[in-house]
């Protein structure tokens, strides 16, 4: 059976405001998220990363459902709220995905290194131009 006991999927159980929140987060993305979004599309088109994906009460910055991989881009405020980030990571990993985090300054100063690290977490068939 698909979904819960009532036949509702996780997506159907989300609050009705979730799609609007997702659109708002995408529309107001910072420069590091824009850089990663472009780099992911160019380097890993087969992985089909989606931006600001609702998962439970959280939004994953980037998610490849096929690879079961979530990419989080963290700014300085994340250093002050490590407990919340750890709870978020535990939830997302409990949903069956691996979570890889990068700091904004890593993205802006070394996007090639970020992409290489992401490639290490992808199955070979999803590595696109970085294959072999």
How high is the pLDDT of residue 105? 92
- Domains (ranges, CATH) in the chain? 30-127 (3.40.960.10)
pTM of the model: 0.79
**What are the tokens at 42?**
């160019």
| Distance, CA of 31 to CA of 28 (rounded, Å) | 10
Buried b (16+ CB within 10 A) or exposed e, 14-45: beeeeeeebeebeeebeebbebbbebbeebbe
pLDDT at position 114: 96
Q: Is 68 helix (H, G, I), strand (E, B) or coil?
A: coil
Question: Residues 77-120: pLDDT tens digits?
Answer: 655 677 888 898 999 999 899 999 999 999 999 999 999 999 99
Contact 73, 52 (CB under 8 A): no
pLDDT exceeds 70 at position 49: yes
The distance of Cα 96 from the centroid of its chain, to the nearest Å, equals 13
């Amino acid at each position: 059976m698909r979904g819960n006991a009532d036949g509702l999927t996780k997506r159907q159980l989300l609050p009705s405001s979730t799609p609007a929140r997702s659109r708002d987060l995408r529309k107001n993305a910072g420069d590091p998220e824009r850089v990663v979004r472009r780099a992911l599309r160019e380097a890993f088109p087969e992985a089909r990363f989606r931006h600001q994906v609702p998962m439970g009460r959280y939004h994953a910055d980037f998610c490849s459902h096929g690879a079961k991989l979530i990419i989080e881009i963290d700014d300085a405020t994340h250093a002050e709220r490590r407990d919340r980030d750890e709870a978020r990571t535990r939830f997302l990993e409990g949903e069956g995905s691996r979570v890889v985090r990068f700091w904004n300054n890593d993205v802006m100063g070394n996007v090639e290194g970020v992409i290489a690290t992401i490639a290490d977490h992808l199955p070979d068939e999803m590595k696109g131009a970085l294959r072999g």
